[in-house]
Amino acid sequence: MATLAAAHLTRRFGVRTAVEDVSFELAPGEIFALLGPNGAGKTTTLRMLAGLIEPSVGAVSVDGKPMSRGNAAMLRGKIGFLTEAPGLWDRLTVRQNLTVYARLHGLPDQRRAVDATMELFGIRDRADEFAAQLSKGLKQRVALARALLHEPGIVLLDEPTSGLDPESARDVRGLVLRLRDERRAVLLSTHNLDEVERVADRVAVLRTRMVAVDTPAALRARLFGVQLRVRLAQPAEPFITSAVGAGVSDATAEGQTLSMAVDDAVVRAPAIVRRLVAAGADIQTVAAAEPSLEEVYLRLLESGERPAAP
């Protein structure tokens, strides 16, 4: 059973539709990335999932229970939400910030929970520092600790590495991966495609409506097919006709490189190599080329592809 499910979520603000008919499910131990340009409705979607705002149409379910006005407070306790800004109380220490949240969540042994969380996030030595004194990276780390203090099964992260230096961003990515290992369901809203490439199991592209949902590999294959690139010792142009054959739908030449769209690089590569060698080509390298997730993302936004099954 899905830990978190969004069914036909639509949210209107007056005449403006911020999110329309968005559906997907999130399983335990899965990192699901929500991509989209500014104003695509990512934060609105997260707020609906976190029970902060109600959908105009559609429903959110947590552990199979539909969220309603009556149970939203209770279900919010099962969700950890890292908001876009850390939103720490600057005049309180790190420990005080976390302790207030431990009490708000009604944790039984608050001191132990706070200590354990600070230990886990490597901020124990900063426990008595005021939040205002922390660097941006540390604030984000404390905010993440705060979101996970009550050990929620569902974690919603809104731009968790935005504005962080590479080292801090790497630390946050490490923490996100650890959440997957702990079998928590993680929804990550971000602009950082590199980050998504590194951590996400599935990707959703949102532009008010859901443009596509799938694994990064499946989206690549669907949009670009698999590209095989063969570098020759001589100009590639004369070998285009030799390259095209069974399983190769298209071939182009650029300098000494032949690029071919194939259905399966591993299966087709030996026959292609044989044909090129037979035609007199001197082969230097053969490699399967993957388009970057950025190319996939931009292609999806350009094409406005209709939603895939979640």
Partner 1 sequence: MRVFALLSKELADLRRNPAVFLPAVITGAISIILPFFVAIIVPYVTGERLSDSSDFRVAIDMYRSQAGSRRLDPEGAIQAWIFQQFLLLLVLTPIAGAMSMAAYTVIGEKQARSLEPLLATPISTFELLAAKVLGSLLPSVGLSVACFVVYLAAVAAVANPGVFLILFAPRSLAIVFLIGPLAALVALQLAVCVSSRVNDARSAQQMGALVILPLSGLLVAQLTGNVELTLPVIVLIVAVLLLLNAGLMRIGIALFDRESILTRWK
Residue from 64, 70, 106, 166 touching partner 1 (CB under 8 A): that is 106
What is the pairing mode between strands 202-207 and 209-214?
antiparallel
Which regions of 208-296 does DSSP assign to beta strands (E)? 209-214, 226-232, 248-254, 257-262, 283-289
The crossing angle, in degrees rounded to 10, of helices 216-224 and 293-303 is: 60
- Which range in 90-98, 120-128, 198-206, 238-246 contacts partner 1 by CB under 8 A? 90-98
The answer to whether the CB of 41 falls within 8 A of the CB of 35 is no
Nearest to partner 1 of 82, 269 (CB atom): 82
- The token pair that represents 185 in the structure block: 């369901």
Distance (Å, whole) CA 142 – CA 145: 5
Residue from 7, 100, 223, 288 touching partner 1 (CB under 8 A): that is 100
- Which range in 60-68, 104-112, 166-174, 222-230 contacts partner 1 by CB under 8 A? 104-112
Residue 144 one-letter amino acid: L
Contact between 244 and partner 1 per CB under 8 A: no
Q: Which residue has the tokens 């131990």?
A: 29
Minimum gap (Å) between residue 182 Cβ and partner 1: 20
- Which range in 28-36, 88-96, 229-237, 292-300 contacts partner 1 by CB under 8 A? 88-96
104-111 LR contacts (CB < 8 Å, sep 24+): 105/77, 105/149, 105/150, 106/77, 107/149, 107/150
Q: Which residue has the tokens 């005049």?
A: 91
Contact between 272 and partner 1 per CB under 8 A: no
- The 129-168 site mask, x for binding partner 1 (CB under 8 A), equals -x------------x--xx---------------------
Contact between 111 and partner 1 per CB under 8 A: no
Contact between 217 and partner 1 per CB under 8 A: no
Residue from 21, 54, 194, 305 touching partner 1 (CB under 8 A): that is 54
Residues near partner 1 (CB under 8 A): 13, 44, 47, 50-54, 73-74, 76-77, 79, 81, 83, 85-92, 96, 100-101, 103-106, 130, 143, 146-147
